[in-house]
């Protein structure tokens, strides 16, 4: 089995969260989806598990954060062009996300920031390493 990343996120409305992630380009894997969890696929190696609060409580005794008030992690996805970055953001906002910072241009990298309907932070970026300062 190849190395994979599973990002587990607590959500308050599973269907709404699934719709948000599908709108931004993730696909659902029904094999690992039920009324308490949904597996959203970004690539062969990256998966986001959307878990209801009751489901997440099966894996931890810690309190579940309110991601609209507290940040615990910022997840980042690289895309293949600045146009894809902008398109991702437009779709995310249309699907209920909120852009929480101004777009940034570092010369070699463009970055945009969005939070999902539960407040989980995501950065989408495009890097052109040929423009990286030497």
**Domain 1-59 CATH assignment equals 3.90.1150.10:** no
**Per-residue H/E/C for the chain:** CCCCEEEEEEECCHHHHHHHHHHCCCEEEHHHCCCCEEEEECCCCEEEEEEEHHHHCCCCCCCCCCCCCCCCCEEEEECCCHHHHHHHHHHHHHCCCEEEEEEEECCCEEEEEEECCCCCEEEEEEECHHHCCC
Cα separation of the two ends of the chain: 37
Domains 1-59 and 69-134 share a fold: yes
Interval 22-69: pLDDT, tens:
999 999 999 999 999 999 999 999 999 999 999 999 999 999 999 999
Domain chopping of the chain, boundaries:
1-59, 69-134
pLDDT at position 92 is 98
- For the cut 90, the answer to whether the pLDDT of residue 16 exceeds it is yes
pLDDT at position 133 is 87
Average pLDDT over residues 108-126: 98
Interval 65-90: pLDDT, tens:
999 999 999 999 999 999 999 999 99
pTM above 0.85, yes or no: yes
- For the cut 90, the answer to whether the pLDDT of residue 1 exceeds it is no
Architecture of domain 69-134: Roll (3.10)
């Amino acid at each position: 089995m190849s190395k994979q990343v599973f990002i587990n996120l607590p959500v308050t409305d599973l269907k709404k969260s699934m719709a948000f992630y599908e709108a931004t380009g993730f696909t659902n894997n029904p094999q690992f989806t039920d009324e308490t969890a949904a597996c959203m696929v970004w690539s062969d190696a990256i998966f986001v598990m959307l878990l209801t609060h009751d489901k997440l409580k099966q894996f931890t005794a810690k309190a579940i954060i309110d991601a609209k008030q507290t940040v615990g992690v910022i997840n980042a996805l690289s895309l293949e062009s600045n146009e894809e970055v902008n398109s991702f953001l437009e779709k995310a906002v249309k699907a209920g996300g909120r852009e929480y910072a101004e777009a940034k241009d570092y010369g070699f990298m463009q970055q945009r920031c969005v939070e999902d309907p539960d407040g989980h932070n995501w950065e989408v970026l495009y890097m052109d390493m040929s423009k990286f300062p030497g």
